[in-house]
Amino acid sequence: MAVNNPYATYQQRATETKTPGELTLMLYEGCLKFIRRAEKAIDEGTVEEKNTNIIKAQNIIRELMVTLNTDVAVAQQMMQMYDFILNRLVDANVNNDKKLLKEAEEFVTEFRDTWKEVVKLDRQRRHGAGASSSTSPSAAGETRL
């Protein structure tokens, strides 16, 4: 019989109750965490750790790419930006280049900060604060999370 880990159960339930917008925000946060770990690994000369963390960041960007509804114009633009970020991450990994990681980090940070506002406005709208429905996460094309 498996022993349940209460923390893992809590984390799973917390994730299951998130809105698609909140899940997207979590992905941005995770991507930034892995990019920063990769930067630290470059500083410390731990190639395997750098590689592992950059691959995790790449996987998050790929997940964000597949969740886009490309029928929406803004989603097509986001796809191009995600592709650019992905290429920066690949090049940073191959070339051990912190500058390229910083570039990727800056773009992901901008997405994260913008998405925080979208989630905040969506929360206000859902809870009756009167924000416009065009600010919901689905309006940005990320509806399939």
Q: Is residue 86 part of a domain?
A: yes
Residue 44 covered by a domain:
yes
pLDDT reported for residue 132:
46
pLDDT tens, position by position, 20-30: 899 999 999 99
Is 66 inside any structural domain?
Answer: yes
Check the CA dihedral 87-93-95-96 and report its sign. positive
Residue-level pLDDT at 123: 86
Average pLDDT over residues 30-52: 98
Which domain range does residue 101 map to? 20-126+135-140
More confident residue, 64 or 123: 64
In total, how many domains does the chain have? 1
Positive/negative CA dihedral, 64, 116, 139, 85: negative
Residue 3: inside a domain, yes or no? no
CA distance 114 to 124: 16
Across the chain, mean pLDDT equals: 86
Count of helices and strands (H, E) across the chain = 5, 0
CATH number at residue 81: 1.20.120.340
Assess whether pLDDT exceeds 80 at residue 8: no
Q: Contact at 8 Å (CB) between 57 and 104?
A: yes
| Predicted pLDDT at 18 | 85
Q: What is the pLDDT of residue 66?
A: 96
Burial pattern 57-76, b for ≥16 Cβ within 10 A else e, equals bbbbbeebbebbeeebeebe
| Distance, CA of 87 to CA of 100 (rounded, Å) | 9
Average pLDDT score over residue span 29-52: 98
Residues 108/10, Cβ–Cβ less than 8 Å: no
Is 7 inside any structural domain?
no
Q: How confident is the model at residue 48 (pLDDT cuts 50, 70, 90)?
A: very high
Whether residue 49 lies inside any domain: the answer is yes
Query: Does the residue 6 lie in any domain?
Result: no
**Tell me: the pLDDT tens digits for 84-138?**
999 999 999 999 999 999 999 999 999 999 999 999 998 888 887 544 444 445 4
More confident residue, 141 or 45: 45
Token duo for residue 141: 């094309």
